[in-house]
Structure 1
Amino acid sequence: MPTLQDKLAESLAVLKKLQDEGIVAIQTKNITRTHRERLIKSGFIKEVMKGWYFPARPEEPAGESTAWYV
């Protein structure tokens, strides 16, 4: 049975694959609900509009806009 760390690693691999494909803003259709919820909970993506997500750093303070300048 996979541990929580293994599950998060799997979700991060999905996020990396999307980024390697050049996808910056992640649409709901590009990622499964399980991976999306896991990444939101751990702080690796943030919802910017309904159905659209943006990669983030978990330690990033609320309101920080540096990540927007890609």
Structure 2
Amino acid sequence: MKHMFLEKLFPASRTATIRKEICGIRQHTRETLHESMIDAASGGALMDKTPAATRHLISNMASNT
């Protein structure tokens, strides 16, 4: 009964789509890989960050490679 309820609420196709969106990194058309990685690491567009936050983010990424 519980399984039927969850299957109705969250069908396999919807679950797969949500999981792909959570786990996947989207690279937009004409966006380079490094641009998409930096945007993903910043939690949005890097251009929305302050210069200090941007330097901190890039420094942190560089120290983890």
TM-score (normalised: structure 1): 0.30
Instruction: Indicate the structure with greater helix content.
Output: 2
Instruction: Indicate the structure with greater strand content.
Output: 1
TM-score (normalised: structure 2): 0.31
- Which structure has more relative contact order (CA 8 Å, sep 6+)? It is 1
